[in-house]
Chains A and B, each alone.
Chain A
C-alpha cells in the first residue's frame, strides 16, 4: 500500500492532478493597497488522493479552501499564483464558469452545516435542486438519487428524512445531509473544512469511514482541512502543515508523524499527544500572529526554541512537495531517515 501510493504520487503527472495550487497568494485588497493573508502556497491533490491540510486558526487554511472554490469574501482576492482544477484555471474563471464547476467538479463541506443548508426549505428539495441545476434529469430520478445518497451517508430512514426541515435533524444528521448533498454530483474533488470538528467522536468515526469508502468507490480526491492531527493521521495519504499563511512542512502522513522536521509540526504533535496521569500537557508558547504582525524572517521564530540570528532571513521550502520543510534548522538534520 505504501509503495503503491508513493509510486502513485511520483507518477502523478499533469493529467492526474485533480487539484493543483501553485505559488498562491491571497490578499485583502483595499483601493491601491493590499495585505497578503496567504503566501506562496504550492500543493497538489492527485486523483483518488486524500491530502490533509493542518494548522491552527489564523493559519490561512480556510482561505486557501475558499479560493479553490472561487468563494473568497468581498475585498479578498488571489493576488498571485494559480489554482487549477483538472487543468482548468479557477483564478481566471468567470462566475458562470465557477457555477458550472461547483457541484460536478468540486464540492465543499463546511464545519457548520447551516452555512450550506437553507432553513426555509425541506432538505429533499435542496438536494433535488442541486441535481437538476446541473443535470437534465427528471424530478423523480433526482429524488431517487437523493434518497440513495442519504442512505449512503448513514441517515436512518432516508425516504422519511427527505421531507425534514434542517432544524428537525440533529447536528450529526445535518452534517451527513450536507455531505450527501456535496457528493450527489460525484465531484472529482471534495474540499472538507473541519467537517467533523463539532461532532461527537462516534459520529466522526462513521464519517471518516464514509470518506474512505467514497474515495475507493468514486476515485474522489479530497483536501481535508483540520486542526486535529489525529483525524488527519487516520485519513490522509499526505499532509501539509500551514502556519501564518504559508506551508511550513509537507510529506507522506507516515513521515510527518514519525519524523516531523519543522519545529512547529513537532510542537503540534506534542500538544496532541496525551500521556499518563500527572504528566504535564504539551503546549506551544505564544499565539499565531495576525498577518500585520508577521515577522520578516521565519514567521515561527518568536515561538521557536531553536531560533537564532539566521532565522531573521525568511526561509524557502527545501525539498519537494513530496517531502519539504521551510526551516533553517530542520529537525533530524544529519540523521539517516
Chain B
C-alpha cells in the first residue's frame, strides 16, 4: 500500500497570551497514512490532535515541517495544485449543529461545495443520492437541520463531506456530541463507507476504546508530541509510554457481563 497522507516534522507554535513566550501546540509530528487505511489520532484536550488535522486541511499554517495529501503539499505548492485539495480531503466535525447554517435546507447544505458543478435540474437527485449513501431517506432533502436528530445531522455532515468525492475523510470526534445509543450507528456508517468507497479515514478521538474497534493503526499524542504509535489493541493492553499508561489506567471500565 502507498501513503496517501504524509506528515513530516509538522510543528505549530502559538504566541502565548502572556506576551513574549511561545507555546508549542504541535512539536515535530511525523506519520503516514496508507491508502484505504483507518488511522487513529488519540489524545486529551490540548494534546494538539485537532491542530494537526487543521494543518492537514489547510486551515492553520504550520510554523515548520510539511503535510501532503495524495502527493500535493498542503502548504508549499502552486495555487492550482492546492485548489485540488478540497476534492481530496474533507472533514466531519464534532458538533453537526454548529457546522450547518440553520436557515438552509438539507439539500442546500449538502451541495454547498459543489453547487457550481451540478446543474440546477440535477441538484435534488444529487442530494437524494448523497442522503441514501448515508442511510437517510431522500425526502429529508427539503428539511432544515433542526428537524433532524443529532445522529441524523451527523449523517448529513458525512454526506456533505462525501459530496466532494474525497479520498481522505478526517473525522474529528465525530460522535462525542451524540447520545450513547446513536454513536454506534454513525461509527458503523463510517466503517462501512470506508470499505464501500475505498476511503481513507483519519479518526481523531479521546476514546481509546472506540479507536481500538475502528482503527488499523493509532498514534497517541500528548503535549504536542506523538508519544506512542502502533497497533491499537496492543497499546490498550500493554502501553509502553508513561503517559499512555496513565491514560489507559484512567479509562473507566464496564464490569464483565454475564452471557446473554
Give residues in A with beta carbon < 8 Å to B: 56-57, 171, 200-202, 204-205, 208, 227-231, 233-234, 254, 257-259, 267-269, 271-285, 287-288
Return chain A residues, CB-CB under 8 Å to B45.
171, 200
Select the stretch in B29-37, B65-73, B249-257 that faces chain A.
B249-257
Answer yes or no: B81 CB below 8 A from chain A CBs.
no
Per-position 1/0 for B149-188, Cβ under 8 A of A: 1010000000000000000000000000001111111011
Per-position 1/0 for B237-248, Cβ under 8 A of A: 000000000110
Contact assessment for B184 and A281 in the assembled complex, using a CB-CB cutoff below 8 Å: yes
Contact assessment for B213 and A276 in the assembled complex, using a CB-CB cutoff below 8 Å: yes
Number of interface residues of B (CB under 8 A): 36
Contact assessment for B181 and A268 in the assembled complex, using a CB-CB cutoff below 8 Å: yes
Return chain B residues, CB-CB under 8 Å to A279.
213
Answer yes or no: B209 CB below 8 A from chain A CBs.
yes
Question: Which chain B residue shows the least CB distance to A54?
Answer: B180
Nearest CB on B from A11, distance (A): 25
Return chain A residues, CB-CB under 8 Å to B233.
276-277
Report the Cα distance A83→B215, complex, angstroms.
48
Contact assessment for B183 and A283 in the assembled complex, using a CB-CB cutoff below 8 Å: yes
With A257-B257, A269-B257 as known contacts, state yes or no: A56 contacts B181, CB within 8 Å.
Answer: yes
Report the Cα distance A267→B188, complex, angstroms.
16
Nearest CB on B from A291, distance (A): 16
Name the prevailing secondary structure of the B interface residues.
helix
Report the Cα distance A287→B250, complex, angstroms.
30
Return chain B residues, CB-CB under 8 Å to A267.
181
Report the Cα distance A269→B188, complex, angstroms.
17
Return chain B residues, CB-CB under 8 Å to A234.
252-253
Contact assessment for B257 and A274 in the assembled complex, using a CB-CB cutoff below 8 Å: no
Contact assessment for A230 and B252 in the assembled complex, using a CB-CB cutoff below 8 Å: yes
Return chain A residues, CB-CB under 8 Å to B180.
56, 227-229, 268, 271-272
Report the Cα distance A280→B195, complex, angstroms.
13
Nearest CB on A from B49, distance (A): 12
Q: Which of B188, B191, B250 has the most CB of A within 10 A?
A: B250
Report the Cα distance A230→B209, complex, angstroms.
12
Return chain B residues, CB-CB under 8 Å to A269.
254, 257
Report the Cα distance A274→B255, complex, angstroms.
12
Q: Could you give 30 example pairs across A and B, Cβ below 8 Å?
A: A56-B181, A57-B179, A200-B44, A200-B45, A200-B206, A201-B251, A201-B252, A202-B246, A204-B252, A230-B252, A233-B252, A233-B254, A234-B253, A258-B258, A267-B181, A268-B180, A269-B254, A269-B257, A271-B180, A271-B184, A273-B254, A274-B212, A277-B212, A280-B188, A280-B191, A283-B182, A283-B184, A284-B181, A287-B151, A288-B181
Question: Which chain B residue shows the least CB distance to A279?
Answer: B213
Nearest CB on B from A73, distance (A): 21
Contact assessment for A272 and B254 in the assembled complex, using a CB-CB cutoff below 8 Å: yes
Excluding A278-B213, A281-B183, 7 further A-B contacts by CB distance (< 8 Å) are: A204-B250, A205-B249, A267-B181, A269-B254, A273-B254, A277-B215, A283-B183
Report the Cα distance A114→B213, complex, angstroms.
35
**From residue 187 to 224 of chain B, which have CB atoms closer than 8 A to chain A?**
187-188, 191, 206, 209-210, 212-216
Report the Cα distance A191→B242, complex, angstroms.
34
Report the Cα distance A328→B179, complex, angstroms.
26
Contact assessment for B250 and A205 in the assembled complex, using a CB-CB cutoff below 8 Å: yes
Contact assessment for A233 and B181 in the assembled complex, using a CB-CB cutoff below 8 Å: no
Report the Cα distance A205→B245, complex, angstroms.
13
Nearest CB on A from B94, distance (A): 12
Report the Cα distance A200→B149, complex, angstroms.
26
Contact assessment for A281 and B188 in the assembled complex, using a CB-CB cutoff below 8 Å: yes
Answer yes or no: B232 CB below 8 A from chain A CBs.
yes
Q: Tell which of B151, B214, B246, B253 touches A230, judged by Cβ atoms closer than 8 Å.
A: B253
Q: Tell which of B187, B254, B258 touches A259, judged by Cβ atoms closer than 8 Å.
A: B258
Contact assessment for B44 and A231 in the assembled complex, using a CB-CB cutoff below 8 Å: no
Return chain A residues, CB-CB under 8 Å to B251.
201, 230
Return chain B residues, CB-CB under 8 Å to A231.
252
Nearest CB on A from B115, distance (A): 31
Q: Tell which of A200, A233, A271, A275 touches B183, judged by Cβ atoms closer than 8 Å.
A: A271
Question: Which chain B residue shows the least CB distance to A285?
Answer: B185
Return chain B residues, CB-CB under 8 Å to A276.
212-213, 233
Return chain B residues, CB-CB under 8 Å to A287.
149, 151, 179, 182
Nearest CB on B from A38, distance (A): 18
Contact assessment for B255 and A283 in the assembled complex, using a CB-CB cutoff below 8 Å: no
Question: Which chain B residue shows the least CB distance to A206?
Answer: B250
Question: Which chain B residue shows the least CB distance to A258?
Answer: B258
Q: Tell which of B179, B191, B210 touches A274, judged by Cβ atoms closer than 8 Å.
A: B210
Return chain A residues, CB-CB under 8 Å to B253.
230, 233-234
- Counting from the closest, the 6 A-B pairs by CB-CB distance are A283-B184, A281-B184, A274-B209, A230-B252, A284-B181, A205-B250
Report the Cα distance A202→B184, complex, angstroms.
24
Return chain B residues, CB-CB under 8 Å to A200.
44-45, 206
Report the Cα distance A111→B183, complex, angstroms.
20
Nearest CB on A from B5, distance (A): 20
Q: Tell which of A57, A257, A280 touches B254, judged by Cβ atoms closer than 8 Å.
A: A257
